[in-house]
Amino acid sequence: MTVSLDRLQAGPLPIFRHTHEMLAAFASRRDQIGAREIANEILADPLATLYLLHSINLRVGERSGAEVNTVEHALMMHGISAFLDAAKRWPILEDIPAGFNPRVLTALQKLSRRAQHAAWQARDFAVLHSDVRAEEVQVAALLHFAPELLLWLRSPETAIALDRKRRKTTTGEAEITVLGSPQNSEKIVR
């Protein structure tokens, strides 16, 4: 079983209902809210983080050639009001077919919590070591889980097979067996 890389591309992604509700609440007080407060909510949802950074880098990267690496910077580039208006149209995970499957939804929730935990630890470590780019470290740790999140969203049957195989063997062997040759699994993981 191999997974087409096209299925794992970051296009329109759903966000968790909680994130959508918080962004809707922020929209009602858009004049009093700052990018940092919105960024904290986005950073709690790896799918929202991936979607925002991917979309802003597609738009801005083409013009300037520079990458936007933090959620707060992406929000400022997008504009708070424009972002909050656009976020109303983002799909909600619990309202799409993947969200209807209890196994997929549970896996996405667990993976998101693991990503959040890793991201906050990475941020704390960066702050303790006086890294001025602590949010970039946090985002990198959070997005480390993006390929697996996309696999659960876009190819749940493959993610389930991989999960089953990981319980019986090492992660590397499971990935080679389920995803294909080592070269293919490297392309999918990155």
Per-residue pLDDT of the chain (190 residues; tens, 9 = 90+): 445 555 555 557 899 999 999 999 999 998 899 999 999 999 999 999 999 999 898 887 667 677 889 999 999 998 999 999 999 999 999 999 888 999 999 999 999 999 999 999 999 999 999 988 899 999 999 999 999 999 999 889 989 998 988 889 888 888 888 888 655 444 444 3
User: ∠142-150-114 over CA atoms, to 5°?
Assistant: 35
DSSP result, 104-157? HHHHHHHHHHHHHHHHHHHHHHHHHTT-TTHHHHHHHHHHTTHHHHHHHHH-HH
pLDDT at site 98: 87
Phi/psi class of residue 11: alpha, beta or left (left: φ > 0; alpha: ψ in -120 to 50)? beta
CA distance 85 to 67: 23
pLDDT at site 183: 53
Residue 145's CB is within 10 A of a number of other CB atoms, namely 19
Considering the entire predicted model, what is its pTM?
0.83
pLDDT at site 190: 39
CA distance 136 to 48: 16
**What are the tokens at 160?**
């389930």
Are the C-beta atoms of 10 and 51 separated by less than 8 Å?
yes
pLDDT at site 181: 65
Q: At what angle do helices 146-154 and 156-168 cross, to 10 degrees?
A: 120
DSSP state of 3: -
| Domain spans, the chain | 11-93, 155-190
Residue 26's CB is within 10 A of a number of other CB atoms, namely 18
pLDDT at site 184: 47
pLDDT at site 150: 92
**What are the tokens at 53?**
């950074």
Q: How many CA atoms, within 13 angstroms, populate the side-chain half-sphere of residue 185?
A: 16
pLDDT at site 170: 86
In the chain, the largest separation of any two C-alpha atoms, in whole Å, equals 53
3-state secondary structure of 145: coil
